[in-house]
């Protein structure tokens, strides 16, 4: 398929997605999420373009990313506890990566041979104490000089996809930025919001210790005197509060990281679960007024 045909097909896919043809159950909320996160697509495309050869078409990547954003908005399920920004960023990156793979014409054999050559050069450099020439590399692998040079040329011409730098390095870790990405900033703010709400839902004594020790920066001895307990007890309360706060945030944002309770059917486990639910309910309640205000102002 030619590049022109590929671009046309991508444009058709994008237009269908934008009009909800791929997901006829599109809602006003999903449309608003798309509008709110178009900047995220642009950011990921910009970062990607800084890592690929100049002949890669920016519009193709943007089109693929936008299509992925639309599909992500329609498929998003808020009750899964994953912020939409994180979910959408993952889908957009994946779509852009797929787009790059489609326009990268190098065969797997060329890529595999290229890795073999790189490994041979590394081994020889360690042995010789200098950069080996192509003839030495060819001899070490049982290849001809022409085969080595030909493969190097093929890889150089087709080096569209250097984003992952190897199967063990996540794509997103290769994107260099001097400032937090949009999704990172949103995730950070969401964690701060959850933390504030989790503190508000702590039992009174735990809440006092957290506020006085971490926010007011009072000495532990003063807090102990205020509560009428020993410093050792304040330290225990602080540790208990930190575990609850950590697990509350994980319960909302990273459920797989929540530490299982040793006695899941016990009263302590039930109280902990009730605390998690209270934090989630407070978070939902604080978001509702903002959503209503946005709708009344015509921005949602």
Domain assignment of residue 138, given as a range: 108-159
CATH number for the domain harbouring residue 225: 1.10.10.10
Mean of pLDDT values over 154-163: 52
In this structure, the answer to whether residues 140 and 97 fall within a common structural domain is no
In this structure, the answer to whether residues 233 and 274 fall within a common structural domain is yes
In this structure, the answer to whether residues 195 and 288 fall within a common structural domain is yes
Q: Among positive and negative, which fits the CA dihedral 230, 236, 240, 243?
A: positive
Contacts of 146 (CB under 8 A, 6+ apart): none
Residue 130 within a domain: yes
Q: Which of 21, 42, 22 is nearest to 88 (CA)?
A: 42
More reliable by pLDDT, 85 or 179: 85
In this structure, the answer to whether residues 120 and 212 fall within a common structural domain is no
In this structure, the answer to whether residues 75 and 21 fall within a common structural domain is yes
Question: With 0-12 CB in 10 A as exposed, 13-18 as middle and 19+ as buried, what is 210?
Answer: buried
Q: Which of 103, 118, 151 is the last residue of a domain?
A: 103
First to last CA, the chain: 40
Q: Which of 34, 68, 103 is the last residue of a domain?
A: 103
Q: Over the chain, what is the mean pLDDT? A: 75
Residue 175: pLDDT over 60: no
More reliable by pLDDT, 13 or 166: 13
Task: Return the percentage of the chain with pLDDT > 70, whole number.
Answer: 70
In this structure, the answer to whether residues 115 and 97 fall within a common structural domain is no
At residue 272, the pLDDT reads 87
In this structure, the answer to whether residues 33 and 135 fall within a common structural domain is no
In this structure, the answer to whether residues 211 and 270 fall within a common structural domain is yes
Residue 172: pLDDT over 90: no
Q: Which of 104, 71, 110 is nearest to 88 (CA)?
A: 71
Taking the C-alpha atoms of residue 223 and residue 219, their distance in angstroms, rounded to an integer, is 7
Residue 114 within a domain: yes
At residue 76, the pLDDT reads 86
In this structure, the answer to whether residues 38 and 73 fall within a common structural domain is yes
Rg (CA), the chain: 27
Q: Concatenated DSSP letters for 254-276?
A: -GGGSPPPSSTTSHHHHHHHHHH
Residue 40 within a domain: yes
Residue 197: pLDDT over 50: yes
Residue 18 within a domain: yes
Residue 173 within a domain: no
Alpha helices for 104-202 (secondary structure H): 108-128, 134-141, 145-157, 182-200
Residue 176 within a domain: no
Taking the C-alpha atoms of residue 272 and residue 268, their distance in angstroms, rounded to an integer, is 6
Q: Which of 98, 96, 103, 100 is nearest to 45 (CA)?
A: 96
Q: Among positive and negative, which fits the CA dihedral 239, 244, 245, 251?
A: positive
Chain centroid offset of residue 300 CA? 25
Range scoring the smallest mean pLDDT among 58-67, 151-160, 175-184: 175-184
pLDDT level of residue 87 (50, 70, 90 thresholds): confident
Total domains present in the chain: 3
Tokens of 121: 């050069």
Residue 175 within a domain: no
Residue 144 within a domain: yes
At residue 288, the pLDDT reads 61
At 1-55, the pLDDT tens digits run 444 455 455 544 544 444 443 444 444 578 888 888 888 898 888 888 877 666 6
Among all chains, which residue has been given the structure tokens 């209503």?
Answer: 292
Among all chains, which residue has been given the structure tokens 């509060």?
Answer: 241
CATH number for the domain harbouring residue 12: 1.10.1740.10
In this structure, the answer to whether residues 194 and 119 fall within a common structural domain is no
CATH number for the domain harbouring residue 130: 1.10.10
Contacts of 129 (CB under 8 A, 6+ apart): none
This model's pTM is above 0.75: no
Tokens of 286: 């604080």
Range scoring the smallest mean pLDDT among 90-94, 114-118, 271-275: 114-118
In this structure, the answer to whether residues 42 and 143 fall within a common structural domain is no
In this structure, the answer to whether residues 114 and 94 fall within a common structural domain is no
């Amino acid at each position: 398929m030619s590049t022109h045909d590929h671009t046309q097909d991508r444009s058709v896919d994008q237009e269908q997605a934008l009009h909800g043809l791929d997901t006829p159950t599109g809602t006003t909320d999903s449309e608003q999420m798309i509008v709110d996160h178009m900047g995220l697509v642009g950011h990921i495309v910009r970062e990607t373009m800084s890592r690929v050869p100049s002949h890669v078409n920016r519009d193709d990547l943007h089109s693929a990313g936008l299509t992925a954003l639309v599909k992500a908005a329609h498929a998003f399920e808020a009750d899964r506890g994953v912020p939409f920004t994180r979910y959408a960023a993952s889908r957009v990156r994946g779509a852009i990566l797929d787009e790059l793979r489609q326009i990268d014409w190098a065969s797997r054999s060329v890529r595999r041979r290229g890795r073999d050559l790189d490994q041979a050069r590394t081994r020889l450099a360690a042995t010789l104490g200098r950069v080996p020439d192509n003839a030495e590399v060819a001899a070490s692998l049982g290849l001809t000089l022409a085969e080595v040079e030909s493969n190097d040329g093929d890889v150089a011409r087709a080096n569209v996809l250097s984003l992952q730098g190897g199967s063990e390095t996540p794509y997103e870790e290769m994107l260099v930025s001097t400032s937090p990405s949009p999704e990172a900033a949103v995730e950070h703010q969401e964690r701060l919001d959850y933390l504030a709400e989790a503190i508000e839902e702590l039992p009174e004594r735990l809440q006092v210790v957290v506020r006085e020790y971490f926010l007011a920066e009072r000495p532990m001895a003063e807090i102990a005197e205020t509560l009428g307990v020993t410093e050792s007890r304040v330290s225990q309360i602080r540790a208990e509060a930190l575990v609850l706060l950590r697990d509350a945030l994980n319960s909302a944002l990273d459920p797989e990281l929540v530490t299982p309770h040793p006695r899941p059917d016990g009263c302590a486990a039930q109280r902990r679960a009730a605390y998690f639910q209270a934090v989630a309910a407070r978070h939902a309640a604080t978001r509702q007024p903002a959503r209503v205000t946005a709708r009344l102002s015509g921005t949602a």
